[in-house]
A and B are shown apart, each in its own frame.
Chain A
Amino acid sequence: MEIRKNSGVLKWALIGISAVFLTVMLILPLIYVMYTAFEEGIGVFLAAVTDEYALKAIGLTVRVTVLTVIINTVFGIFASWCITRFSFPGKKVISALIDLPLTVSPIIAGLIYVLTFGRQSILYPYLQGAGIKIIFAVPGIVLATIFVTFPFISREIIPVLNAQGTDEEEAAALMGAGGFTIFRRITLPHIKWALLYGIVLCTARAMGEFGAVSVLSGHLRGKTNTMPLYIELLYQGYDFTGAFAVSAILVLMAVVILVLRSVLEYKGAKSGEQAHK
């Protein structure tokens, strides 16, 4: 093969270009965050991340993320089941709607919730009457986070389910197995790596969502500030060390997520090979 044979120089040139690009664009920011976070010593770092408001922001981020991931996982599983296992009118519309949040700017995602639950909405008097506060409060943050990560899990599972086909489930149903048994014993082993991968992606985005949450949060320090918002607050207050210290936690999480991702991708590919041999 000519490309391969004469490609010694070209190969290393291309690898070099890629490596430089990725180092400058992706790795350098990581290093920079860690460097700045610990520049003034570990004591300063610890003080910054154990600040009362920092801890509250971390707590809120964890709560929002857990809630979002649970809701989207349930939704993702049911939605993929219904889209890949049945044919029904309106299926294309439903799958298009599920993917829609991917194309909507996070700011616009925030905006549509403001319009739905805000003061000018027809729902507002009822919500007010029932004493429910959604925008500029935690429920709004959760809703916005669910919206921006809505398709994350179904998008990972659907291709696997499509590749698997429906034969196994049909065979099991034919033998009298119920829905839950079929899912647990037949379907889940096929999708488990894709499902975990989707959960990991969803976690990452839920933790880090900024734009949509920013619109809906109201920025109340200690109440509705998630970690990214808290970082913004510190940064704009010129507390760079604090901002980078809290960022460092998110960087560590990102690295953990990338490692998990690689492991899951490897396991998924291996189990796919195994099953399709």
Chain B
Amino acid sequence: MAGETENYVELRHINKTFKNYKASDDIHFGIEKGKLVGLLGPSGSGKTTILRMIAGLETADSGDIVIDGRVVNDVAASKRGIGFVFQNYALFRYMTVYDNIAFGLTVNKCKKSDIKKRVEELIELVDLKGLERRYPSQLSGGQRQRVAFARALAPNPELLLLDEPFAAIDAKVRQELRSWLREMITRVGITSIFVTHDQDEAIEVADEIIITNRGRIEQIGSPGDIYSAPKTAFVAEFMGSPTRISNISEFKGYEQLDRTIHAVVRPENVSVTKKTEKSRYPASVEHGIVERVLFRGRELELAVRVHGVLLTANRRLEEARIAEGEAVDVFIYRVYAFHENEEVQIVDNANVGTENLFYI
């Protein structure tokens, strides 16, 4: 976390309870000016509540929200200098694209000519020229998102909040829009926070990720850090698509680990080789049986049973085919190990360093 003084947005010990469900439990973090931050967590983890409290759409039970050095707890949502992009965009269905974008300026009594200039500028920016007179129902999902984005930006906010900005968009266009949004926000240079439950989305778009779970913050860090060095058991199990192993000390290369420790292993850290192929670490491979082979398009996904655990591994299409039921060699490069409620340790296979030498 950055020093308290440089933060543009700060949440200080925020608590929020809905009926009997704790949505925010002592939430405390800061965001530097100009950063693009992703709030990532499963549904019900409290990420949207955090965003809505920053916007002023919800009120915290206790704690302070600071924007630009000013405690805004009692500042009305419309006076906080924020732009908000709603999950389903909340475009005004009975207004044209132009009127939607102009709305924030119109209600704040800006001069007609200024409004026109600003709206045209934004339409240019989001590349919607020619669609000004259309109604939201006549636009595609991606175009609607652009209108929502332009509308939020129109009054020149200092902070942009986006609630699941890609949830309402087809998978195919989503990819495209991710890079578009990232580029737009960088170009405008506005501090932004977005909420998502999709880890790929967070990793790809955000400068910094805040992981939430059950109303608490699990970890804050750059996408790289979060992915490669998860700090808590929750993050380790949430990122990637890992398999949990409760008997990791039975695996070769991990005998040194405590018997009671849990571990998770990600598919990219598992290598599966046919018995006929040469393994890089022949002494440390485990015997496994392939139970399922799934074609994933770019690669094959294998489910391999080793020591009673069904591991997931990937294999490239151009490698020799593996059949279901085939006996294979399995090597686990790295696991994330933890005792319940303790920090996660990254454990590499003990034999990687030593055996490697034979083959180089």
In their complex, do chains A and B touch, with some C-beta pair under 8 Å?
A: yes
Chain A residues in the interface with B (C-beta under 8 A) = 167-168, 170-178, 181, 185-186, 189-190, 274-277
B98-117 interface code vs A (CB 8 A; 1 in, 0 out) = 00000110011000000000
A-B contact pairs, 26 of them (CB 8 A): A168-B90, A168-B91, A168-B92, A168-B93, A170-B57, A170-B86, A171-B86, A173-B77, A173-B78, A174-B57, A174-B77, A175-B104, A176-B104, A176-B107, A176-B108, A176-B155, A177-B103, A177-B107, A178-B107, A185-B103, A189-B93, A190-B93, A274-B93, A275-B94, A276-B93, A276-B137
Instruction: List residues of chain B with CB within 8 A of the CB of A178.
Output: 107
Is the Cβ of A190 less than 8 Å from the Cβ of B55? Answer: no
Q: How many A-B residue pairs have CB under 8 A?
A: 62
Grouping DSSP codes into helix (H, G, I), strand (E, B) and loop, the B interface class, with mixed when no group exceeds half, is: loop
Q: Is B29 an interface residue (CB 8 A)?
A: no
**A178 vs B106: C-alpha distance when bound (angstroms):** 11
Known: A175-B104, A274-B135, A274-B137. A185 touches B92 (CB 8 A): yes
**A173 vs B78: C-alpha distance when bound (angstroms):** 7
Q: How far apart are B38's CB and chain A's nearest CB, in angstroms?
A: 21
Q: How far apart are B22's CB and chain A's nearest CB, in angstroms?
A: 19
**A167 vs B85: C-alpha distance when bound (angstroms):** 10
Instruction: List residues of chain B with CB within 8 A of the CB of A275.
Output: 93-94, 137
**Which of chain B's residues 61-79 have a Cβ closer than 8 Å to chain A?**
77-79
Q: Which of A176, A190, A274, A277 contacts B78 (CB 8 A)?
A: A176
Which of B90, B95, B104, B135 is packed against the most chain A CB atoms within 10 Å?
A: B90
**Which of chain B's residues 265-300 have a Cβ closer than 8 Å to chain A?**
none
**A92 vs B84: C-alpha distance when bound (angstroms):** 31
Q: Is B7 an interface residue (CB 8 A)?
A: no
Q: How far apart are B157's CB and chain A's nearest CB, in angstroms?
A: 10
Q: Which residue of chain B is the closest to A171 with respect to CB atoms? A: B90
Cβ-closest 5 pairs across A and B: A167-B90, A189-B94, A175-B104, A176-B78, A177-B107
**A143 vs B77: C-alpha distance when bound (angstroms):** 42
Q: Which residue of chain A is the closest to B56 with respect to CB atoms? A: A174
Is the Cβ of B137 less than 8 Å from the Cβ of A174? Answer: no
**A175 vs B94: C-alpha distance when bound (angstroms):** 17
List 15 extra interface pairs beyond A171-B84, A174-B55, A174-B84, CB under 8 A.
Answer: A167-B86, A168-B90, A170-B90, A171-B86, A171-B151, A172-B107, A175-B107, A175-B108, A176-B79, A176-B107, A177-B107, A178-B107, A189-B93, A189-B94, A274-B137
Which of B79, B103, B137, B155 is packed against the most chain A CB atoms within 10 Å?
A: B103
Q: How far apart are A163's CB and chain B's nearest CB, in angstroms?
A: 12
Q: How far apart are A187's CB and chain B's nearest CB, in angstroms?
A: 10
Instruction: List residues of chain A with CB within 8 A of the CB of B90.
Output: 167-168, 170-171
Is the Cβ of A277 less than 8 Å from the Cβ of B137? Answer: yes
Is the Cβ of B92 less than 8 Å from the Cβ of A175? Answer: no
B38-58 interface code vs A (CB 8 A; 1 in, 0 out) = 000000000000000001110
Instruction: List residues of chain B with CB within 8 A of the CB of A186.
Output: 92, 94
Q: Is B143 an interface residue (CB 8 A)?
A: no
Q: Is B96 an interface residue (CB 8 A)?
A: no
Q: How far apart are A82's CB and chain B's nearest CB, in angstroms?
A: 19
Q: Which of B78, B91, B92 contacts A174 (CB 8 A)?
A: B78
Q: Is B88 an interface residue (CB 8 A)?
A: yes
**A173 vs B86: C-alpha distance when bound (angstroms):** 13
